[in-house]
Structure 1
Amino acid sequence: MTTAATTPWILGLTGGIGSGKSAAAERFVELGVHLVDADQAARWVVEPGRPALASIVEHFGPAVLQADGQLDRAALRQLIFTDPAQRKWLEQLLHPLIGQEIFSYLAKGRSPYAVYVSPLLIESGQYRKTQRVLVIDVPQTLQVARTLARDHTSAEQVQAILQAQLPREERLHHADDVVVNDGDLGHLHAQIDRLHNFYLTLRGGQP
């Protein structure tokens, strides 16, 4: 049985679009840290055989399934896109399940601390379930340039995403630690490595 002494404390990792969250997360994994991604967990809870998928099919009908029994995300998106009430129903079903999935997975970690990566860590309120928050920060001009290069999207779309996300100042307000990712990958890794060594000295996420 897991005891409080062996359960890892949880570091919440977040940042705006194009900030380099994924590269930071990969470095933590390379360092042997137990990590879960919110998007990953959202996929787990709707896998075939899971209760959430059965509830979705019961509610929306078999048209939301692919031939192999997997959830047809595009079909489901189409159904909820134009109907706020249906979207709310789906969120109320999935959000608690995703939260349970994430935190039960994190508690099984063998490392002294575990990392939970979420672009909406602050907005969703899930930062309250973490012991410490790390924000990957980057100047907005660099956010735009990186996202344009990575996603081959338009500048207008990137601006729309930035507008929809939490303002940078508010995200930083919730941070216990900040990594400014305005250099190359080596520069990012050096900052993560330094924080990792610091985190290994913490008990429960606090000095």
Structure 2
Amino acid sequence: MALIHRATLSPTKLELLASWLPGRGWNPGTEGEVTWVAAFRFDDPAGAVGIETALVRVGDGPVLQVPLTYRDAPLAGADEWLLGTSEHSVLGTRWCYDAIGDPVYAAALADAILRGTGQAEQFVDVDGRLERREPAMAVAVEPPGTADAPEAGPVERAADGDPAIVVTPTVELAVRRRLDTTDRLTGALLTGAWPGQGTPVPLASATVR
């Protein structure tokens, strides 16, 4: 379960992304405003890290996939993956990371694909009452996951790119950045569909090592 607070962020997620995206090699360099297309979340079993995958567009450019993690303290050794900090009106200072460099994301993505846990149900805290939020997009796995799939374990290597690659002792993960390409992913797939994109698109893959 992902708990969403009714809160303000300063700077906002889009403002952080607008500052960060121009330095990415996989960003086509389209000029214009960064707009939110859709998003989905995973659960952190420990309940400490927010895990959200954002689909955004710059101007009239392609849809870009940016997995994000939100933490209440810096992640040791992960400065190269930091987008910045933001002040959350309920939770205080949040450190926002490109999740490719966050081991909590790697574990959640591996579980979502290989074990079929999928995206998290989202609930909004409204005056102390939890209200379910309908997902902004649909995600699925091909083939269906199994409960006996291996856990990801510690991250051995994480590399930005398109696709971004995360390697652990048991699994290799690949995450597409630009969703307008025909690049193929191998292994079990996470696919997604969102308003305006009814046909599921491969988002990420997991291959047992």
When normalised by structure 1's length, the TM-score is 0.24
Say which structure is richer in strand.
Answer: 2
Say which structure is richer in helix.
Answer: 1
When normalised by structure 2's length, the TM-score is 0.24
Q: Which has the higher contact order (CA 8 A, sep 6+)?
A: 1
Which of the pair has more CA radius of gyration?
Answer: 1
